[in-house]
Structure 1
Amino acid sequence: MTLEPAHKADRKPVYLAVYDTLADWETGHTTAYLARAGHEIRTVGLSGDPVRSVGGLRIQPDVTLDDVRPEDAALLILPGADLWDTGDELAPFARKAREFLESDVPVAAICGATAGLAREGLLDDRAHTGAVSFYLAATGYKGGDRYVETDAVTDGRLVTAGPTEPVAFAREVFALLGVYEGEVLDAWYRLFHDSDAQAYEILEAAGQ
Protein backbone atom coordinates (compact mmCIF):
# COMPACT_ATOMS: atom_id res chain seq x y z
CA MET A 1 0.00 0.00 0.00
CA THR A 2 1.45 3.37 -1.07
CA LEU A 3 0.11 6.64 0.26
CA GLU A 4 1.07 10.14 -0.72
CA PRO A 5 2.15 12.20 2.30
CA ALA A 6 0.10 15.15 3.46
CA HIS A 7 3.10 17.50 3.17
CA LYS A 8 6.18 17.24 0.99
CA ALA A 9 8.07 20.39 1.93
CA ASP A 10 10.62 18.93 4.34
CA ARG A 11 12.28 15.78 3.08
CA LYS A 12 15.46 15.84 5.11
CA PRO A 13 16.86 12.43 6.11
CA VAL A 14 15.55 10.53 9.09
CA TYR A 15 18.31 9.08 11.27
CA LEU A 16 17.73 5.66 12.84
CA ALA A 17 20.15 4.89 15.66
CA VAL A 18 21.59 1.38 15.44
CA TYR A 19 23.53 -0.51 18.08
CA ASP A 20 24.00 -4.07 19.26
CA THR A 21 20.85 -5.66 20.76
CA LEU A 22 18.49 -3.10 19.20
CA ALA A 23 14.88 -4.31 19.18
CA ASP A 24 14.02 -5.06 15.55
CA TRP A 25 10.23 -4.87 15.91
CA GLU A 26 9.96 -1.42 17.43
CA THR A 27 10.67 0.91 14.51
CA GLY A 28 9.76 -1.01 11.35
CA HIS A 29 6.35 0.58 10.79
CA THR A 30 7.84 4.02 11.35
CA THR A 31 10.79 3.74 9.01
CA ALA A 32 8.91 1.89 6.26
CA TYR A 33 6.20 4.50 5.93
CA LEU A 34 8.54 7.46 6.37
CA ALA A 35 10.53 6.04 3.48
CA ARG A 36 7.35 5.73 1.41
CA ALA A 37 6.61 9.34 2.22
CA GLY A 38 9.92 10.36 0.68
CA HIS A 39 12.33 10.47 3.61
CA GLU A 40 15.72 8.83 3.23
CA ILE A 41 16.34 6.56 6.23
CA ARG A 42 19.97 6.68 7.31
CA THR A 43 21.33 4.37 10.00
CA VAL A 44 23.70 5.95 12.51
CA GLY A 45 26.11 4.09 14.78
CA LEU A 46 28.67 5.05 17.37
CA SER A 47 31.27 3.99 14.81
CA GLY A 48 31.26 2.59 11.31
CA ASP A 49 31.44 -0.97 12.61
CA PRO A 50 28.49 -3.30 11.91
CA VAL A 51 26.04 -3.97 14.73
CA ARG A 52 23.71 -6.89 15.32
CA SER A 53 20.10 -6.57 16.39
CA VAL A 54 18.45 -8.72 19.04
CA GLY A 55 16.94 -10.70 16.15
CA GLY A 56 20.38 -11.38 14.68
CA LEU A 57 20.25 -8.89 11.80
CA ARG A 58 23.62 -7.45 10.84
CA ILE A 59 23.38 -3.70 10.19
CA GLN A 60 26.12 -1.57 8.66
CA PRO A 61 25.73 2.05 9.83
CA ASP A 62 25.52 4.62 7.05
CA VAL A 63 27.10 7.34 9.19
CA THR A 64 28.63 7.80 12.63
CA LEU A 65 26.96 9.73 15.42
CA ASP A 66 29.59 12.48 15.39
CA ASP A 67 28.68 13.25 11.77
CA VAL A 68 24.98 13.82 12.43
CA ARG A 69 23.82 17.43 12.73
CA PRO A 70 20.28 18.31 13.79
CA GLU A 71 19.95 21.03 11.16
CA ASP A 72 20.44 18.43 8.44
CA ALA A 73 17.83 16.02 9.80
CA ALA A 74 14.06 15.62 9.99
CA LEU A 75 14.07 13.22 12.94
CA LEU A 76 16.24 11.06 15.18
CA ILE A 77 14.76 7.65 16.09
CA LEU A 78 16.11 5.80 19.13
CA PRO A 79 15.02 2.13 19.37
CA GLY A 80 15.13 0.09 22.51
CA ALA A 81 18.06 -2.24 23.19
CA ASP A 82 19.42 -4.31 26.04
CA LEU A 83 22.45 -2.02 26.12
CA TRP A 84 20.36 0.89 27.39
CA ASP A 85 20.17 -0.93 30.74
CA THR A 86 23.64 -2.43 31.05
CA GLY A 87 25.88 0.64 31.22
CA ASP A 88 26.64 3.97 29.61
CA GLU A 89 27.64 2.75 26.15
CA LEU A 90 24.59 4.30 24.51
CA ALA A 91 24.66 7.56 26.50
CA PRO A 92 26.10 9.46 23.48
CA PHE A 93 22.82 8.83 21.66
CA ALA A 94 20.89 10.45 24.50
CA ARG A 95 23.25 13.42 24.38
CA LYS A 96 22.64 13.66 20.63
CA ALA A 97 18.91 13.63 21.36
CA ARG A 98 19.47 16.66 23.59
CA GLU A 99 21.18 18.43 20.68
CA PHE A 100 18.20 17.67 18.45
CA LEU A 101 15.60 18.87 20.93
CA GLU A 102 17.54 22.01 21.74
CA SER A 103 17.62 22.68 17.99
CA ASP A 104 13.84 22.11 17.76
CA VAL A 105 14.32 18.96 15.67
CA PRO A 106 12.13 15.95 16.59
CA VAL A 107 13.28 12.88 18.49
CA ALA A 108 11.32 9.63 18.81
CA ALA A 109 12.34 7.15 21.52
CA ILE A 110 10.80 3.78 22.31
CA CYS A 111 11.30 1.17 25.03
CA GLY A 112 14.76 1.25 26.64
CA ALA A 113 15.68 4.43 24.81
CA THR A 114 13.22 6.28 27.03
CA ALA A 115 15.36 5.28 30.02
CA GLY A 116 18.37 6.73 28.25
CA LEU A 117 16.53 10.01 27.79
CA ALA A 118 15.44 9.92 31.43
CA ARG A 119 19.04 9.57 32.58
CA GLU A 120 19.94 12.54 30.36
CA GLY A 121 17.26 14.64 32.07
CA LEU A 122 15.18 15.01 28.92
CA LEU A 123 11.98 13.63 30.48
CA ASP A 124 12.03 15.72 33.66
CA ASP A 125 9.87 18.47 32.15
CA ARG A 126 8.08 16.68 29.30
CA ALA A 127 5.03 14.45 29.25
CA HIS A 128 6.17 10.96 28.30
CA THR A 129 5.54 7.26 28.53
CA GLY A 130 7.58 4.07 28.36
CA ALA A 131 7.49 0.40 29.24
CA VAL A 132 6.12 1.06 32.74
CA SER A 133 6.46 3.91 35.23
CA PHE A 134 8.68 2.09 37.73
CA TYR A 135 11.12 1.17 34.95
CA LEU A 136 11.82 4.84 34.36
CA ALA A 137 11.69 5.62 38.08
CA ALA A 138 14.65 3.26 38.55
CA THR A 139 16.80 5.72 36.57
CA GLY A 140 16.45 8.25 39.37
CA TYR A 141 15.04 10.89 37.04
CA LYS A 142 12.83 13.75 38.24
CA GLY A 143 10.01 13.40 35.74
CA GLY A 144 7.85 10.77 37.39
CA ASP A 145 4.92 13.18 37.72
CA ARG A 146 4.98 13.70 33.93
CA TYR A 147 4.62 9.98 33.17
CA VAL A 148 1.43 9.14 31.24
CA GLU A 149 -0.15 5.67 31.26
CA THR A 150 -0.88 5.39 27.54
CA ASP A 151 0.47 3.76 24.40
CA ALA A 152 2.49 6.70 23.03
CA VAL A 153 2.95 10.38 23.90
CA THR A 154 4.02 13.46 21.98
CA ASP A 155 5.18 16.50 23.91
CA GLY A 156 6.54 19.25 21.73
CA ARG A 157 9.17 17.69 19.49
CA LEU A 158 9.53 14.46 21.49
CA VAL A 159 7.69 11.16 20.94
CA THR A 160 7.93 8.32 23.47
CA ALA A 161 6.38 4.86 23.57
CA GLY A 162 6.70 1.49 25.26
CA PRO A 163 8.03 -1.70 23.61
CA THR A 164 4.61 -3.17 22.82
CA GLU A 165 3.39 -0.12 20.90
CA PRO A 166 5.32 0.14 17.60
CA VAL A 167 2.16 1.08 15.68
CA ALA A 168 1.15 3.86 18.08
CA PHE A 169 4.77 5.03 18.04
CA ALA A 170 4.62 5.30 14.24
CA ARG A 171 1.27 7.12 14.39
CA GLU A 172 2.72 9.80 16.67
CA VAL A 173 5.75 10.27 14.42
CA PHE A 174 3.59 10.58 11.30
CA ALA A 175 1.41 13.19 13.01
CA LEU A 176 4.42 15.15 14.26
CA LEU A 177 6.05 15.26 10.83
CA GLY A 178 2.78 15.87 8.99
CA VAL A 179 3.18 12.71 6.91
CA TYR A 180 -0.45 11.62 7.32
CA GLU A 181 -3.25 13.56 8.93
CA GLY A 182 -6.84 13.35 10.08
CA GLU A 183 -8.94 10.52 8.72
CA VAL A 184 -6.01 8.99 6.82
CA LEU A 185 -3.78 8.90 9.91
CA ASP A 186 -6.59 7.37 11.95
CA ALA A 187 -7.27 4.77 9.25
CA TRP A 188 -3.59 3.84 9.04
CA TYR A 189 -3.54 3.22 12.78
CA ARG A 190 -6.76 1.22 12.78
CA LEU A 191 -5.54 -0.97 9.94
CA PHE A 192 -2.19 -1.88 11.46
CA HIS A 193 -3.21 -1.86 15.12
CA ASP A 194 -6.74 -3.23 14.95
CA SER A 195 -6.80 -5.05 11.57
CA ASP A 196 -9.83 -2.94 10.66
CA ALA A 197 -10.78 -3.86 7.09
CA GLN A 198 -12.84 -0.69 6.66
CA ALA A 199 -9.72 1.37 7.33
CA TYR A 200 -8.08 -0.23 4.29
CA GLU A 201 -10.77 1.25 2.04
CA ILE A 202 -10.04 4.72 3.37
CA LEU A 203 -6.32 4.31 2.73
CA GLU A 204 -6.94 2.98 -0.77
CA ALA A 205 -9.11 5.97 -1.59
CA ALA A 206 -6.47 8.35 -0.17
CA GLY A 207 -3.78 6.64 -2.25
CA GLN A 208 -5.74 7.31 -5.42
Structure 2
Amino acid sequence: MNTIYVYVLDTLADWELGYVTAELNSGRFFKKDGPSVALKTVSSSREPIKTMGGMTIVPDCLIADMVADEKNMLLLPGADTWNDPKHTAILEKASEFLNIGATVGAICGATTALASYGLLDNRPHTSNGPGFLEMFAPNYQGQQFYVDQPAVADGNLITASPTGALEWAKQIIERADVFQKDTLNAWYDYFNTGKPEYFYALMQTLPANEEVN
Protein backbone atom coordinates (compact mmCIF):
# COMPACT_ATOMS: atom_id res chain seq x y z
CA MET A 1 0.00 0.00 0.00
CA ASN A 2 1.33 3.43 -0.98
CA THR A 3 1.36 6.04 1.78
CA ILE A 4 0.42 9.67 1.28
CA TYR A 5 1.93 11.69 4.12
CA VAL A 6 0.31 15.05 4.87
CA TYR A 7 2.41 17.34 7.01
CA VAL A 8 0.31 19.20 9.56
CA LEU A 9 1.39 22.34 11.39
CA ASP A 10 -0.26 25.18 13.26
CA THR A 11 -2.19 27.66 11.04
CA LEU A 12 -2.42 25.06 8.25
CA ALA A 13 -4.52 26.52 5.41
CA ASP A 14 -7.53 24.18 5.44
CA TRP A 15 -8.83 24.92 1.93
CA GLU A 16 -5.57 24.08 0.20
CA LEU A 17 -5.77 20.39 1.09
CA GLY A 18 -9.51 19.80 0.80
CA TYR A 19 -9.78 18.56 -2.79
CA VAL A 20 -6.81 16.23 -2.73
CA THR A 21 -7.18 14.71 0.74
CA ALA A 22 -10.91 14.07 0.30
CA GLU A 23 -10.35 12.11 -2.91
CA LEU A 24 -7.24 10.23 -1.84
CA ASN A 25 -8.80 9.24 1.48
CA SER A 26 -12.30 8.32 0.28
CA GLY A 27 -11.26 6.53 -2.90
CA ARG A 28 -14.75 7.19 -4.23
CA PHE A 29 -13.58 7.74 -7.82
CA PHE A 30 -10.63 5.34 -7.83
CA LYS A 31 -10.19 3.09 -10.83
CA LYS A 32 -10.42 -0.65 -10.41
CA ASP A 33 -7.15 -2.52 -9.94
CA GLY A 34 -5.28 0.72 -9.27
CA PRO A 35 -2.81 1.22 -6.43
CA SER A 36 -4.24 1.33 -2.92
CA VAL A 37 -3.24 4.29 -0.76
CA ALA A 38 -3.24 5.19 2.91
CA LEU A 39 -3.42 8.83 4.02
CA LYS A 40 -1.44 9.68 7.16
CA THR A 41 -0.97 13.02 8.89
CA VAL A 42 2.58 13.59 10.10
CA SER A 43 4.14 16.23 12.29
CA SER A 44 7.22 17.09 14.33
CA SER A 45 5.50 16.01 17.57
CA ARG A 46 2.43 14.17 18.79
CA GLU A 47 0.88 17.43 19.98
CA PRO A 48 -2.40 18.43 18.29
CA ILE A 49 -2.18 21.27 15.80
CA LYS A 50 -4.78 23.96 15.14
CA THR A 51 -5.55 24.84 11.54
CA MET A 52 -6.25 28.32 10.22
CA GLY A 53 -9.94 27.41 10.26
CA GLY A 54 -9.81 26.39 13.93
CA MET A 55 -9.87 22.63 13.33
CA THR A 56 -7.82 20.42 15.64
CA ILE A 57 -5.72 17.64 14.09
CA VAL A 58 -3.87 14.97 16.07
CA PRO A 59 -0.99 13.67 13.92
CA ASP A 60 -1.01 9.99 12.99
CA CYS A 61 2.76 9.67 13.07
CA LEU A 62 6.07 11.47 13.50
CA ILE A 63 8.60 12.45 10.86
CA ALA A 64 10.87 9.69 12.16
CA ASP A 65 8.15 7.15 11.34
CA MET A 66 7.97 8.10 7.67
CA VAL A 67 9.09 5.57 5.07
CA ALA A 68 11.04 7.07 2.18
CA ASP A 69 9.91 5.02 -0.80
CA GLU A 70 9.47 5.96 -4.45
CA LYS A 71 5.78 4.99 -4.30
CA ASN A 72 5.00 7.21 -1.32
CA MET A 73 4.14 10.93 -1.36
CA LEU A 74 4.59 13.93 0.89
CA LEU A 75 2.14 16.83 0.79
CA LEU A 76 3.10 20.15 2.35
CA PRO A 77 0.27 22.67 2.90
CA GLY A 78 0.50 26.40 3.34
CA ALA A 79 0.67 27.91 6.83
CA ASP A 80 1.84 31.08 8.57
CA THR A 81 4.31 29.17 10.74
CA TRP A 82 6.73 27.70 8.20
CA ASN A 83 9.59 29.90 9.45
CA ASP A 84 9.74 27.94 12.72
CA PRO A 85 13.10 26.06 12.84
CA LYS A 86 11.35 22.85 13.92
CA HIS A 87 10.12 22.38 10.35
CA THR A 88 13.67 21.82 9.08
CA ALA A 89 13.23 18.10 9.73
CA ILE A 90 10.35 17.78 7.25
CA LEU A 91 12.29 19.79 4.67
CA GLU A 92 15.15 17.32 5.04
CA LYS A 93 12.63 14.54 4.48
CA ALA A 94 11.23 16.35 1.43
CA SER A 95 14.73 16.51 -0.02
CA GLU A 96 15.16 12.79 0.62
CA PHE A 97 11.84 12.03 -1.08
CA LEU A 98 12.75 14.08 -4.14
CA ASN A 99 16.17 12.47 -4.42
CA ILE A 100 14.77 8.93 -4.51
CA GLY A 101 11.99 9.82 -6.95
CA ALA A 102 9.12 10.03 -4.47
CA THR A 103 6.56 12.77 -5.07
CA VAL A 104 6.48 15.98 -3.03
CA GLY A 105 3.59 18.42 -3.34
CA ALA A 106 3.90 21.92 -1.87
CA ILE A 107 1.41 24.76 -1.95
CA CYS A 108 1.48 28.42 -0.88
CA GLY A 109 3.69 28.95 2.19
CA ALA A 110 5.23 25.51 1.83
CA THR A 111 6.83 26.63 -1.43
CA THR A 112 8.57 29.37 0.53
CA ALA A 113 9.97 26.75 2.89
CA LEU A 114 11.23 24.66 -0.03
CA ALA A 115 12.75 27.77 -1.61
CA SER A 116 14.56 28.68 1.61
CA TYR A 117 15.95 25.15 1.77
CA GLY A 118 17.24 25.37 -1.80
CA LEU A 119 14.90 22.79 -3.29
CA LEU A 120 13.47 25.12 -5.95
CA ASP A 121 16.74 26.48 -7.31
CA ASN A 122 17.10 24.07 -10.24
CA ARG A 123 13.68 22.90 -11.37
CA PRO A 124 10.40 24.41 -12.66
CA HIS A 125 8.02 25.52 -9.91
CA THR A 126 5.46 28.12 -8.94
CA SER A 127 4.33 29.96 -5.83
CA ASN A 128 2.16 32.91 -4.87
CA GLY A 129 3.27 35.17 -7.71
CA PRO A 130 6.45 36.59 -9.27
CA GLY A 131 8.63 38.16 -6.59
CA PHE A 132 6.93 36.36 -3.70
CA LEU A 133 9.72 33.87 -3.09
CA GLU A 134 12.40 36.56 -3.24
CA MET A 135 10.47 38.49 -0.59
CA PHE A 136 10.10 35.63 1.89
CA ALA A 137 13.03 33.34 1.02
CA PRO A 138 16.18 35.49 0.78
CA ASN A 139 18.35 32.48 -0.19
CA TYR A 140 16.14 31.62 -3.18
CA GLN A 141 18.08 31.27 -6.45
CA GLY A 142 15.49 29.69 -8.74
CA GLN A 143 14.06 32.75 -10.49
CA GLN A 144 14.80 31.40 -13.97
CA PHE A 145 12.75 28.28 -13.20
CA TYR A 146 9.68 30.15 -11.91
CA VAL A 147 6.47 29.51 -13.88
CA ASP A 148 3.57 31.92 -13.34
CA GLN A 149 0.78 29.31 -13.28
CA PRO A 150 -1.64 28.15 -10.54
CA ALA A 151 0.13 24.78 -10.31
CA VAL A 152 3.25 23.33 -11.90
CA ALA A 153 4.30 19.68 -12.08
CA ASP A 154 7.96 18.92 -12.74
CA GLY A 155 8.35 15.18 -12.49
CA ASN A 156 8.01 14.31 -8.82
CA LEU A 157 7.73 17.91 -7.59
CA ILE A 158 4.30 19.57 -7.72
CA THR A 159 3.96 23.18 -6.54
CA ALA A 160 1.00 25.56 -6.43
CA SER A 161 -0.25 28.96 -5.39
CA PRO A 162 -2.95 29.27 -2.69
CA THR A 163 -5.58 29.72 -5.44
CA GLY A 164 -4.32 26.67 -7.34
CA ALA A 165 -5.60 24.00 -4.95
CA LEU A 166 -7.84 22.31 -7.54
CA GLU A 167 -5.11 22.21 -10.21
CA TRP A 168 -2.63 20.99 -7.58
CA ALA A 169 -5.01 18.23 -6.56
CA LYS A 170 -5.47 17.16 -10.17
CA GLN A 171 -1.73 16.87 -10.74
CA ILE A 172 -1.21 14.96 -7.48
CA ILE A 173 -4.05 12.54 -8.25
CA GLU A 174 -2.64 12.03 -11.75
CA ARG A 175 0.79 11.32 -10.30
CA ALA A 176 -0.71 8.84 -7.82
CA ASP A 177 -2.34 7.03 -10.77
CA VAL A 178 -5.56 6.27 -8.85
CA PHE A 179 -8.11 7.72 -11.31
CA GLN A 180 -8.82 6.75 -14.88
CA LYS A 181 -7.85 9.58 -17.22
CA ASP A 182 -11.44 10.31 -18.27
CA THR A 183 -12.55 10.25 -14.62
CA LEU A 184 -9.86 12.75 -13.65
CA ASN A 185 -10.69 15.10 -16.53
CA ALA A 186 -14.43 15.04 -15.79
CA TRP A 187 -13.79 15.46 -12.04
CA TYR A 188 -11.62 18.50 -12.67
CA ASP A 189 -14.03 20.04 -15.19
CA TYR A 190 -16.96 19.64 -12.80
CA PHE A 191 -15.28 21.23 -9.79
CA ASN A 192 -13.68 23.89 -11.96
CA THR A 193 -16.89 25.00 -13.70
CA GLY A 194 -19.80 23.64 -11.66
CA LYS A 195 -21.56 22.63 -14.88
CA PRO A 196 -23.85 19.61 -14.37
CA GLU A 197 -22.89 18.00 -17.68
CA TYR A 198 -19.44 17.32 -16.27
CA PHE A 199 -20.94 15.66 -13.20
CA TYR A 200 -22.88 13.29 -15.43
CA ALA A 201 -19.77 12.71 -17.53
CA LEU A 202 -17.93 11.86 -14.31
CA MET A 203 -20.61 9.37 -13.31
CA GLN A 204 -20.41 7.69 -16.70
CA THR A 205 -16.72 6.95 -16.17
CA LEU A 206 -17.50 4.89 -13.06
CA PRO A 207 -18.80 1.32 -12.74
CA ALA A 208 -22.61 1.16 -12.96
CA ASN A 209 -22.93 0.02 -9.35
CA GLU A 210 -20.71 2.74 -7.92
CA GLU A 211 -22.35 4.98 -5.32
CA VAL A 212 -21.10 8.52 -4.87
CA ASN A 213 -21.68 10.82 -1.92
TM value normalised by structure 2: 0.88
Alignment counterpart, residue 77 of structure 1, candidates 75, 78, 95: 75
- 2:126 corresponding residue in structure 1: 129
Kindly state the Cα deviation for residue 134 of structure 1 after the two structures are TM-superposed: 1.1
Structure 2 residue 64 is matched with structure 1 residue 66: yes
Identity, in percent, stands at 37
Runs of 4+, deviation exceeding 3 Å = none
Q: Give the letter aligned to residue 18 of structure 1.
A: V
Q: Are 1:94 and 2:84 counterparts?
A: no
Matches within 5 A, 1:3-152: 11-35=1-25, 36=27, 37=30, 38-71=36-69, 74-84=72-82, 86-138=83-135, 139-140=137-138, 141-152=140-151
After superposition, the Cα gap between the structure-2 partners of 1:186 and 1:72, relative to the gap in structure 1 and judged at 3 Å, is closer
Question: 2:37 aligns to what SS in structure 1?
Answer: coil
Counterpart amino acid of 1:148?
A: V
> How far, CA to CA, are the matches of 1:190 and 1:17 in structure 2?
28
What code does the residue aligned with 2:202 have? Answer: L
Q: Deviations over 1:129-185 (max 9, x none)?
A: 111121112213110111111111100101000111211110010111212243322
Q: Give the match for residue 191 of structure 2.
A: 192
- Deviation track 1:78-123 (CA, whole Å, cap 9, x = no partner) reads 0000012x44332222111001111111000000000111111111
Q: What is the distance in 1 between the residues matched to 2:85 and 2:45? A: 15
Contact conserved, 1:110 with 1:130, CA < 8 A, in 2? yes
- Looking at structure 2, the residues matched to 73 and 46 of structure 1 have their Cα atoms a distance apart, in angstroms, of 22
Which 5+ residue runs of structure 1 have no aligned equivalent?
Answer: 1-10
Quick one: distance in 2 between partners of 1:203 and 1:25? 23
User: Residues 9-34 of structure 1, C-alpha deviation per residue, up to 9 Å, x if partnerless?
Assistant: xx311100001111111011101111
Give the 3-state SS of the residue equivalent to 1:13 in structure 2. Answer: strand
Equivalenced residues, count:
197
Q: 1:77 Cα deviation (Å)?
A: 0.4
Answer yes or no: is the 8 Å Cα contact 2:70–2:97 preserved in 1.
no
TM-score (norm 1): 0.90
Whether contact under 8 Å (2:183, 2:206) holds in the other structure is no
Aligned CA RMSD, in angstroms, stands at 1.5
SS at match of 2:74: strand
Q: Contact 2:11–2:51 at 8 Å: present in 1 too? A: yes
Cα 1:153–1:161 change in 2 (3 A) is same
